[in-house]
Amino acid sequence: MLELLGKQIEDRIKYPAVKDVYLEWEKRGLLEESLSFLGTLPENDAEVVAHSLVAHVHREKSLFMDLVGDNLGIEEDVRKPVAVSSDILWALSLMIDDIEDQDSVRGNLPSCWAKYGKGETIGAAFSTLGSLTRYLADRSQNKHIRSACMHYVALGLRSITEHKYMDLDTPIGVIVSNYENRCDFHATLQIAVFHDLILKGRYPDLRDKTIAGFRCINRAGQLINDLKDIAQGDIYERGFSDIRNGVPTVPLIYLYRNLNTWQTRAFLNMFGKGYVNTEERQLLNSMVSDSKVIERTMARIGDEYEKGLEFLSVVIDDPSLLWFERWVGYKKSSFLVQLSSIDK
């Protein structure tokens, strides 16, 4: 089953930019490293994690981390496992997120819990996490990587709980900070390992700029995901899950703050009640249009991406930066294409 992982991922890729990233990822030995790690897992756990990796075909996280490590001169025997951990930890987070959100579909495939059951999925996620920390410690010959990994994973898990206690009056800065905690385990962790544990703090300024760059790019990606949940009738086709489940996001707060009195009452009646009917969907589409939330959020997304690339431009070479620039272009253009196709 594992030997087919690369083909299963590649066969599901639709967009040229995603395909180019995948091919570079494979060329740099990151597929081979992923298979090496998965091969250390019990067969049942490996199958569940592999399914999560196939459902989400984007491989930019580990590619970007490998490029950063390469620019720092870190040997590939250490660099590749750390880079691949970005994808593995992201796959594990999706397994848990889909249970939390009751999403039964991920990337047009059954989500892991829908296919394997909640108990099997949760068990595989936490067992694999333990295996990953041991794998990284062994490959890097640094036992401290295990505690670093668990620290950032704990921040991510805590962010999920904290988000449940937020509401539409929560300051946007608090929500953005929550976004960062949710993403740090697949970016800040790996950068910290490179700089603090492997390079022993040799380049603190480069460390800080790299972390800042990734945080900007990850915030932009999260904003796009949040916007997809409400834009033009819900691009994700998850039935306005953030509104149904009462999950405050930056775009929803932008929307909420620009409603008139009767729209506000209607919106609050929908927020967190567990379902959105056909009439309410039409009303939401009208609210989204009237509030200009898409335009406002897209402006913020553009700013975040611009700042992220500016930070990274001083820590990696031009050929490496080009991969980031191409990915940013793809993320923005693909979202706009999705919007325009729905408008038609």
Q: Where are the domains of the chain?
A: 1-191, 203-344
pLDDT in tens, 161-191: 898 899 999 999 999 999 999 899 999 999 9
Q: Under CATH, what is the fold of the domain 1-191?
A: Farnesyl Diphosphate Synthase (1.10.600)
pLDDT in tens, 3-62: 789 999 999 999 999 999 999 999 999 999 999 999 999 999 999 999 999 999 999 999
pLDDT of residue 199: 94
Span of 61-65, 114-118, 274-278 with lowest mean pLDDT: 274-278
pLDDT in tens, 117-169: 999 999 999 999 999 999 999 999 999 999 999 999 999 989 988 988 999 99
CATH of domain 203-344: 1.10.600.10
Instruction: Looking at 141-170, list the stretches that DSSP marks H as alpha helix, in order from N- to C-terminal side.
Output: 144-164
pLDDT of residue 344 exceeding 50: no
Q: How far is CA 263 from the centre of its chain?
A: 32
pLDDT of residue 340 exceeding 70: no
pLDDT of residue 203 exceeding 60: yes
- The first and second tokens of residue 139, run together, are 């490959």
Q: Across the chain, what does the average pLDDT equal?
A: 92
Alpha-carbon distance 11 to 74, whole Å? Answer: 32
Contacts of residue 30, Cβ cutoff 8 Å, sequence gap at least 6: 59, 62, 63, 66, 80, 83, 84, 87
Secondary structure (3-state) at 40? coil
pTM of the model: 0.92
Do 183 and 222 form a contact (C-beta atoms < 8 A)?
yes
Mean pLDDT to the nearest integer, 284-310:
94
pLDDT of residue 245: 85
Alpha-carbon distance 4 to 85, whole Å? Answer: 20
pLDDT of residue 235 exceeding 50: no
Residue 26, class by beta-carbon neighbours within 10 Å (0-12 exposed, 13-18 middle, 19+ buried)? middle
